[in-house]
Structures are given as C-alpha cells and as structure tokens.
Amino acid sequence: MTIYDVVIVGSGPGGYVCAIRCAQLGLKTALVEKYKTLGGTCLNVGCIPSKTLLDSSEHFYNAKHHFAEHGIELSELKPNLSQMIKRKNTVVSQTCAGIDFLMKKNKIDVYNGIGSFDSPNIVSVKTEKETTKIEGKNIVIATGSKPSTLPGIEIDKKRIITSTEALSLNEIPKHLVVIGGGVIGLELGSVYMRLGAKVSVVEYADSLIPAMDKALGKELQRVLKKQGMEFIMQCKVKEVKNTGKEVVLKAEDKNGKEIQLLGDYCLVCVGRKPFTEGLQLEKAGVKITEKGIIETNEHLQTNVATIYAIGDVVKGPMLAHKAEEEGVFVAETIAGQKPHIHYHLIPGVVYTWPEVSAVGYSEEQLKEKNISYNVGNFPFRALGRARASMDIDGFAKILSDSTTDEVLGVHIIGPRAADLIMEAVVAMEYKASAEDIARMCHPHPTFTEALKEAALDATSKRALHM
C-alpha cells in the first residue's frame, strides 16, 4: 500500500489546487477522481462550459441587435447551436487537459475511480476492474456539490433538466421555464433567451439573486425584462410534469392563486447540496450536519484531526474561487504554515449581461447590523466608455462607514463587473476608505471610472460626471 502525506478526494478547483500547493510544499500527494476527466463540476459541467455558451450567445445577440447600429450589416443571421456546443466541448477538453498537465508537472499521483474511506487514514479507489487502497497521513475531502430539487419535481434529464443537461441540449427551446432566479438559472436562461427562446423565470423570493444587495436584483430584473425574459416572482412551485413533448408547471402565487405554465423544457435551478454520497464517512468517523454539510473548525479540520474538508461540502458560498482559497489554506496548514482566508472579502459574480458582482456587506446587512453608512452611486450610462460600447445599463455602488469612511461593501451591475470587482476587493483587503479610491487616478475612458465616481459620490456627494 502506497503511503502519501496528503490524499485528496475530488479534483474540482478546490481539490486540484490543493494538490498543486501540497506538491509545491514538498508533500507526497495523491488525487482521487471518480470521473475520467479532472476539474470537477466547475470545469466539466459548470463555470467553464456555461461561460463559453454565454460568450457565444452574447456574440449572436449583439450581432442581431446591435451590429447595425455600429455600422455592421449582416444578412440571414441564425444561431448554430450544435457548433456552439462543439466549441464548448473543445474549451472544456482543453481546460481539463491543462489540469492533467499540471498534475504531471507537479508529480502528483492521480487515481481514477470512486474513492471511499476504509478507516480514518485509508482510502479505497474502486474501478470496474479493481480496488486500490492508499494511505494518507492527511486526507482532504473536496467532493463538491450536486443540483438540488424540490418536492413534486422529478428530474428526468429529458424535459425536466438541471444545469448539466442544459449545457448540452440538441435544440434551442421554444419556451424554457426556469425554476429559480439565482445565478445559475439566470445565466443559462440568458443563453437560450439570446438564441431566441422564450424564457420564464419562476422565483420564490421577492427579488432576483436574493443573496445579493436588493438594488442589484431590482436592476438586473429590469434589464433582463427589457431583453425579453419573463419573471413570475414570489411564487411557490408545487409540481412539474413531463407530458411527452412539453412540461406543465403548477405553482401558487403569494395570494394563493394557482398559476400554470407550459413549456418544452423546465430547468430546475434551486441551489446545490454537498455531495458526500459513497464516501462512507461513517468509517472515518467524520460528522456531518442534517443538511449534509461536513463540520469543520477554523482550520477546516473535521472532528477527525487528520481529515480536512473544503469547497462545497463545507459551510459558506458554493464558489469555485472560495474552494481554491480553501485548498491552498489546507495545504499550507498541513505543511505547518499559518495561512488565512478573509471570507467576508470573497466576491460573488453573476455572468449575465450586464454582469453583476459584489463584495462585502449589502445595504440590507448593514441595516440589520445597525451600522451607519454612506452610499455612493454612479450609473454606467454617464461614462463615455459605456456609451461608446453601447453598454449603458447598470451602476456601481459603494457603501462606506459614515464615521471612518472605510469601504464596507461594493456592488456593481454593468459591463465587465466581474473584472471590476477586484479593485474593490484589493481596496477592502487593505481597509481603504472611499476617499482613497476617489483620489486614485483612473484611466479614461474606462469602465473603472464608475468606481471612482461612486467613491466620490460616497464622500460628500461630489461625483464629477453626474
């Protein structure tokens, strides 16, 4: 039996990054993955393929709706979904191949098969042909998550689908009904809406992206509605049935009135849940909560000192970059270092267009904590760069402490918000004030000027272009 310093179960962003950092620190490392390709949900059926389709559909949407205004004339424009799926598959294959290369480069042993515990330090890796046992002085659980569903809904993967199936449809839906107005539902709904599908989003809460600042959800709903997306808010889904060539969704609105929707596909996006099935955690003595979350301490150790857990199987947002940070954190902890993660400064992003991003406290959270704050807002339509590119929807919002002026939260909906948010993360990591951002010279014309202007607005309402 081969003995390793660290055995990592799961090769998603948390797992493979943890493996690389362990190897860099001189630890003999093994990575266990049940699928043939590395990369987990993110690379195979999550972040990478969805962003690939989002980019393809965005190009088509712009060609159809905006190119003429730019002086670019096209005729007989039509989407080729099979080519889009083919390109998506190529991007996924190339990205996963990159992870294979990194494993070889860092001399990490990869075991393909279903990993499970035999004991706190022994992992069995089972394939169709054989079972291999390996020993880890330390073991890291990084098995990620899987889509959740609701009572009364059976995912048949044909007409009633999850995000995984939505990434590989062989036709553009005529009417796609999306259950859930969160990140995944809005992103994939955007893909097919841009390609010509009617998209109806059914959301239980009173706001889209309910975990984020409500102003973002309100503006995103306004913009997506303008693009053609339909919203049924504060509605509880009771039942979804596949009748053959269509799906029938029955729901109840906030007043108890029954609503019925007919579509040819129903995409269920009601969150994800930790995936620990088959790990046989009981043999290792690892505790989990009623919701299936693995319990960990501040060092991401489970109740078994030599077993750690990271990513979607532990508490916190289910984000690839959060898992990566935890992977590095655990590797450095095992190596005897003193790493840290500032969870409050992990940004969230929605890759619709316009994009949405946020870091720190929302207005609702500051009110709940009774923290006095200033608000600075600036609309993208006031920027020359935004007008030049015809990306005028959205705004940047900065929340700062009314006494110290320290930046407490930044919320952006607009072009390239996913990239712009990092200015806020860096500023907040160093406890910058709104005045600090306001006094930094931002290049012109750029989208980043929205942050400078929002910072100016947060400090004595002195935005220059509003």
Q: What is the CA radius of gyration of the chain?
A: 24
The CATH code of domain 160-270 reads: 3.50.50.60
The CATH code of domain 2-147+273-343 reads: 3.50.50.60
| Helix or strand (DSSP H, E) at 399 | strand 395-401
The C-alpha atoms of residue 4 and residue 227 are separated, in whole angstroms, by 53
Please spell the DSSP secondary structure of 243-299, one letter per residue.
Answer: -SS-EEEEEEETTS-EEEEEESEEEE-S-EEE--TTS-HHHHT--B-TTSPBP--TT
Residue in 299, 344, 444, 465 annotated catalytic: 444
User: Model confidence over 62-109: pLDDT tens digits?
Assistant: 999 999 999 999 999 999 999 999 999 999 999 999 999 999 999 999
User: Model confidence over 336-361: pLDDT tens digits?
Assistant: 999 999 999 999 999 999 999 999 99
Q: Among 325, 328, 333, 269, which Cα is nearest to 307's?
A: 333
- Which pLDDT does position 24 carry in this prediction? 98
- Residue boundaries of the structural domains of the chain: 2-147+273-343, 160-270, 354-458
- CB contact burial 291-311 (16+ within 10 A = b; e otherwise): eebbebeeebbbebeebbbbb
- Which pLDDT does position 152 carry in this prediction? 86
Q: Among 211, 139, 209, 165, which Cα is nearest to 354's?
A: 209
Mean pLDDT of the chain: 97
Question: pLDDT over 90 for what percent of the chain?
Answer: 100
The C-alpha atoms of residue 296 and residue 290 are separated, in whole angstroms, by 14
In this prediction the pTM is 0.96
- Asked if the domains at 2-147+273-343 and 160-270 fall in one CATH topology, the answer is yes
Helix (H/G/I), strand (E/B), else coil: 438: helix
pLDDT band at 202 (very low <50, low <70, confident <90, very high): very high
Q: What's the average model confidence in pLDDT over 397-421?
A: 98
Residue with tokens 């200033």: 374
Asked if 444 is an active-site residue, the reply is yes
The CATH code of domain 354-458 reads: 3.30.390.30
- In single-letter form, the type of residue at position 103 comes to M
The C-alpha atoms of residue 291 and residue 163 are separated, in whole angstroms, by 21
The C-alpha atoms of residue 266 and residue 251 are separated, in whole angstroms, by 13
Please spell the DSSP secondary structure of 344-381, one letter per residue.
Answer: GG--EEE-SSSEEEEEE--HHHHHHTT--EEEEEEEGG
